[in-house]
Amino acid sequence: MSLDGCERKLLDWILLNMTSENLITNNLITRANFIAYYSKYKKPANKGYSDKTVSISFQRLSSDGILIPVTRGMFQVNLKYFKA
* Domains in the chain: ranges and CATH: 5-77 (1.10.10.10)
Phi then psi for residue 8, to 5 deg, are -65, -45
How far, in Å, CA of 42 to CA of 55, rounded?
Answer: 19
**Can you give the pLDDT at residue 76?**
97
The CA distance from 7 to 71, in Å, is 21
Tens-place pLDDT, residues 33-79: 999 999 887 777 778 899 999 999 999 999 999 999 999 999 999 98
pLDDT digits (tens, 9 = 90+) for 1-41: 678 889 999 999 999 999 999 999 999 999 999 999 998 87
DSSP state of 80: T
This prediction has a pTM of 0.88
